[in-house]
């Protein structure tokens, strides 16, 4: 994964609240089977408008997006993060983020900065005319003469700073997982034993059970 340390660039003052992942990446783009090339579909419905905020001469390719509360709500589609990354976005600043989206973002090297709504509003105004600097070491966002601190989950911060792959981290814990699995197989045998499920038609022949609701 690409690491994230510091970043300076144009921040798109988008500002919209409750931006769901359907808006970031609509259904037809979910038929793609690779992680790349989704940028053209990002915010597709909004970008039908020739004067949209994403494609202005100033904002096109900008690395920072400023949005309203509950950014990334709805569907778990990681395509939303791939699309943002492909659009060039490496950092989103907003009052808060949806949980699944937040987990997806970090795995794609995208830093999410949660700030109080007042600070987001101030940055929105300044970002109209000034570049914004995000420093993950110092955990600050700076624009013009405004500088605000932010906190980020310690584990996610380390993954971003070092560009760590979570699967590599977990595979290094194989001995612990083996031990847990072995214990669970002993103490909760039923939980890890998947019966061989006969085909529905064979089942119907074997029993008269119906799916009566309880």
Interface positions with another protein (CB under 8 A)? 16-18, 20, 22-23, 26-28, 30-35, 45, 68-70, 73-78, 81, 96-100, 103-104, 107-108, 117, 153-155, 158, 166-167, 169-171, 173, 176-177, 180-181, 184, 188-195, 197-201, 203, 209-211, 213-214
Q: How far is the CB of 132 from another protein (least distance, A)?
A: 21
Q: How far is the CB of 8 from another protein (least distance, A)?
A: 27
SS (H, E, C) 147-168: EEECCCCHHHHHHHHHCCCHHH
Q: Which is nearer to another protein, 145 or 211 (CB)?
A: 211
Q: Which is nearer to another protein, 57 or 167 (CB)?
A: 167
Q: Which is nearer to another protein, 57 or 172 (CB)?
A: 172
Q: How far is the CB of 29 from another protein (least distance, A)?
A: 10
Q: How far is CA 165 from CA 1, 102, 109, 130, 169, in A?
A: 6, 16, 10, 34, 7
Q: Which is nearer to another protein, 66 or 142 (CB)?
A: 66
CB 62 within 8 A of CB 14: no
Beta-bridged to residue 135, according to DSSP, are 6, 140
92 contact partners, CB below 8 Å, separation of at least 6: 64, 65, 66, 67, 71, 84, 105, 110, 111, 112, 113
Q: How far is the CB of 131 from another protein (least distance, A)?
A: 25
């Amino acid at each position: 994964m690409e690491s994230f340390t510091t970043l300076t660039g144009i921040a798109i003052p988008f500002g919209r609240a409750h931006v769901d992942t359907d808006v970031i990446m609509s259904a037809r783009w979910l038929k793609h089977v690779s992680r790349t090339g989704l940028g053209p579909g990002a915010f597709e419905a909004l970008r039908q408008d020739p004067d949209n905020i994403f494609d202005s001469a100033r904002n096109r390719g900008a690395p920072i997006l400023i949005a309203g509360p509950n950014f990334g709500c709805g569907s778990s589609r990681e395509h939303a993060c791939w699309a943002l990354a492909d659009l060039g976005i490496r950092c989103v600043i907003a009052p808060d983020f949806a949980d699944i989206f937040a987990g997806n973002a970090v795995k794609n090297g995208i830093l999410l900065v949660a700030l109080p709504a007042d600070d987001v509003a101030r940055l929105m105004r300044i970002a109209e005319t000034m570049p914004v600097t995000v420093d993950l070491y110092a955990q600050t966002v700076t624009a013009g003469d405004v500088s605000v601190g932010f906190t980020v989950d310690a584990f996610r911060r380390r993954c971003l700073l070092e560009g760590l792959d979570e699967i590599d981290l977990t595979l290094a814990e194989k001995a612990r997982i083996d031990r847990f699995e072995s214990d669970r197989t002993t103490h909760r045998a039923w939980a890890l034993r998947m019966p061989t499920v006969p085909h529905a038609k064979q089942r119907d022949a074997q029993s008269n059970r119906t799916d009566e609701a309880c």
